[in-house]
Amino acid sequence: MTAPFLEALAGIVGPARLAVDAATRDAAGRDALLRGHAPDAVVTPGSTAEIAAIARACHEARVPLTVRGAGTGYTGGAVPVRGGVVLSMARFDRILAIDAANLLAVVQPNVVTRALHDAVEAQGLFYPPDPASLARCALGGNVAEDAGGPRAFKYGTTRRYVLALEAVLPTGEIIRTGAKTVKNVTGYALTDLLVGSEGTLAILTEITLRLVPKPAAQRTFSATFATIDAAARAVSAVVQAGVVPATLEILDRASLDAVAAHVGRPMAPAGSEALLVVEVDGSEPAAVHDAAIATAACRGAGATSLVEASTSEAREAVWEARRELSFALRRLAPRKINHDVVVPRGRLPELYALVDRLRADHALSIAAFGHAGDGNLHVNLMVDPADTAMMQRAAAAEAALFAGVVALEGSISGEHGIGYAKAAYLGLQLTAAEIALMQRLKQAFDPHGILNPGKLWDTSAADLDGLTDAPPAP
């Protein structure tokens, strides 16, 4: 990066908001994948006008520009694989309005997701999207990745809640998409195009989100099953009984064993191969009614035990296995490769059968758990990066997993996006014509291809070769 270009950036944001030191660049070059590439400079603008000026400068000088939210992404989306400028949204962290009459909130993109939950719930309102990372991730990153979470089963993913956006195009133009209204069919649905665009089409600077009234009551229970197949079939039985729970999570034997080792006591009766955690919500009578129907459906599907929670302490106990899972898995292997695959709900038994085949064919430890109501499983390949043969087996298992999921009419990503990490597999799910159409859309937004290059179809072998692992934690 040339000295005049750096001077131009400093002129836009002020010298104190431009960093070129190694520590800042390194920290801004990684996400939760812990494999990254340092940018040449990090800028932290404070206004939409500054962002527009940065974009224009990068567009004119053909310098790569990558937006960074909270950096919790799992697919390298915020990693500047070709260097250039990282644009940190850190200063865009204010809730601008909570409008109870119109059931909406206007936020800057780097508001932490939990901060919005807390603020709206204090007013009797509810923002449903709840990625497990909600204490750290930011709403702009959630919109860019169309983040999901346990509550997506009943409430849908982030997309359902985005009404309007202010965004800066890579050319420096400022646009507003959508409207504050429930209905809006004026022009193309640009808001929907930007949701899930993984920071490749525009820089989000303001987000208008739909809220709903906070549910008055919840009922939670867990159910164990003697086979994973029975548990997976119980998921469909609950839905067919006419209930859509707020969350319906599944843990397999490997996940239950990991948590049991972590907390020092069993999480399910001996002989259990799977656990479902089910939560319904709504008015008090509706929650009681739905819980009764869902427990009956689980019993009918062969549940071997049921634990119902009517107090908040009991509810926490029911959630314990699911909550402790991420920490527990860390004990199984030095690294987990977490794939967020999704299939139509009714094909969950086939997805679990596929995971069993991967365990056997590739001699790997795999824990598969997740949002069963959505058909969205986190398939975690537990690996040791120092074991080259194991890493080769994991790569083969990964390819077989993605091919198998597409054959089951599913998707290679239900939550985390493609980034650079899954770019090699995009062609499994999308045809050449579909990718070419996306490339033409990208060209229309970003004629010089400066915004977040090296992602989706654009990831090259050189991009991947340039990545380095984060140093091990001290």
Ligand X SMILES: Cc1cc2nc3c(=O)[nH]c(=O)nc-3n(C[C@H](O)[C@H](O)[C@H](O)COP(=O)(O)OP(=O)(O)OC[C@H]3O[C@@H](n4cnc5c(N)ncnc54)[C@H](O)[C@@H]3O)c2cc1C
Among 58, 105, 204, 243, binds ligand X (CB under 6 A): 204
Q: Quick one: tokens of 303? A: 């549940």
Query: Which C-beta is closer to ligand X: that of 66 or that of 247?
Result: 66
Asked if 297 touches ligand X (CB under 6 A), the answer is no
Q: Which structure tokens are listed for 90?
A: 């850190």
List of E strands, 283-385: 305-309, 335-342, 365-371, 376-383
Choose the binding region for ligand X from 64-72, 180-188, 222-230, 460-468 (rule: CB under 6 A). 64-72
For residues 66 and 208, which CB has a smaller minimum distance to ligand X in the complex? 66
Count how many residues are written for the chain: 474
Q: Which is nearer to ligand X, 113 or 222 (CB)?
A: 113
If the CB atoms of residues 204 and 254 are measured against ligand X, the closer one turns out to be 204
Determine contact, residues 448/170, Cβ cutoff 8 Å.
Answer: yes
* HSE, side-chain direction, 13 A CA sphere, residue 197: 26
- Of 25, 68, 154, 335, the one binding ligand X by CB under 6 A: 68
Q: Phi and psi at residue 42, in whole multiples of 5°?
A: -125, 125
Q: Could you say whether residue 64 binds ligand X (CB under 6 A)?
A: no
Amino acid (1-letter code) at residue 62: R
Task: With contacts defined by CB under 6 A, name the span among 99-107, 119-127, 196-204, 358-366 that binds ligand X.
Answer: 196-204
CB of 73 to ligand X, least distance (A): 3
CA separation, residue 58 to residues 6, 11, 82, 194, 335 (Å): 11, 14, 13, 20, 36
From residue 416 to residue 455, the character string flagging contacts with ligand X as x (rule: CB under 6 A) and all else as - is: x-----------------------------------x---
- Return the residue of 184, 227, 326, 460 that touches ligand X, per CB under 6 A: 326
- The residue behind tokens 């999570």 is 249
Q: Is 221 in the site for ligand X (CB under 6 A)?
A: no
**Contact flag: residue 199 with ligand X (CB under 6 A):** yes
401 contacts: CB under 8 Å, gap ≥ 6: 339, 341, 354, 355, 358, 379
Q: What residues contact residue 312 under an 8 Å CB cut-off, 6+ apart? A: none
The residues pairing with 337 across neighbouring beta strands, listed in sequence order, are 381
203 binds ligand X, rule: CB under 6 A: yes
For 317, residues 6+ apart whose C-beta sits below 8 A from its C-beta are: 307, 309
Options 73, 80, 83, 375; binder of ligand X; rule CB under 6 A: 73
Q: By CB under 6 A, is residue 171 in contact with ligand X?
A: no
The rounded distance, in Å, linking the Cα atoms of 412 and 425 is: 8
By the rule CB under 6 A, 77 interacts with ligand X: yes
Of 375, 380, 374, 343, whose CA–CA distance to 358 is shortest? 380
* Residue (314 or 424) nearer to ligand X, CB: 424
141 binds ligand X (CB under 6 A): yes
Residues that bind ligand X (CB under 6 A): 31-32, 66-74, 77-78, 89, 109, 131-133, 137-138, 140-142, 144-145, 147-149, 198-199, 203-204, 326, 415-416, 452
